[in-house]
Amino acid sequence: MNVISSWFKRNFSDPQIVILISALILGFVFVIYFGRPLAPFLTSIVVAYLLESVIIRLERHKVPRVLAVGLVFLIFVAVMFILLIWLVPKLTSQLTQLAQVLPSYLSEGLDFLRELPEKYPALVKPEQVQSIITTATNEMTAVGQTILGKTVSSVFSAFSIAVFLVVMPILVFFLLKDKAIIVAWLRQFIPRDSKLTLSVWHQVDVQIGNYVRGKAFEIVLVGLTSYIVFVFLDLQYAILLATLTGFSVLVPFIGAVAVTVPIALVAFVQFGWTAPFAYVMISYGVIQMLDGNVLVPWLFSEVNNLHPVAIIVAVLFFGGVWGFWGVFFAIPLATLVNAIIESWPKTIQAAEDESVVE
DSSP structure string for 244-295 = HHHHGGGSTTHHHHHHHHHHHHHHHHHH-SSHHHHHHHHHHHHHHHHIIIII
Mean per-residue pLDDT for 118-141?
72
Quick one: 136 and 284 in the same domain? no
What is the distance between the alpha carbons of residues 3 and 203, in angstroms, rounded to a whole number? 33
The predicted model scores a pTM of 0.70
Quick one: 65 and 136 in the same domain? yes
Query: What percent of the chain is predicted at pLDDT more than 70?
Result: 70
What is the distance between the alpha carbons of residues 65 and 2, in angstroms, rounded to a whole number? 58
Our count of domains for the chain comes to: 2
- What was the pLDDT predicted at 278? 93
Quick one: 155 and 198 in the same domain? no
pLDDT level of residue 305 (50, 70, 90 thresholds): low
Quick one: 289 and 142 in the same domain? no
Residue bearing the bigger pLDDT, 85 or 141: 85
Quick one: 167 and 20 in the same domain? yes
Which of 180, 202, 231 is the C-terminal boundary of a domain?
Answer: 180
Any domain includes 18: yes
Any domain includes 97: yes
Quick one: 171 and 201 in the same domain? no
Q: Which tens digit of pLDDT belongs to each residue from 58-78? A: 888 888 888 999 999 999 999
Quick one: 176 and 207 in the same domain? no
Looking at residue 232, the DSSP 8-state letter turns out to be H
Contact 236, 283 (CB under 8 A): no
CA 108 to each of CA 266, 272, 281: distance values in angstroms, whole numbers, following the listed order: 11, 10, 19
In the predicted structure, residue 107 carries a pLDDT above the cut 90 = no
Quick one: 37 and 71 in the same domain? yes
Range of the domain at 18: 13-180
Any domain includes 249: yes
Any domain includes 266: yes
Any domain includes 276: yes
- What was the pLDDT predicted at 282? 94
Quick one: 218 and 83 in the same domain? no
Contact 237, 243 (CB under 8 A): no
Give the N- to C-terminal CA distance of the chain in Å, as an integer.
27
Quick one: 109 and 236 in the same domain? no
- What was the pLDDT predicted at 334? 76
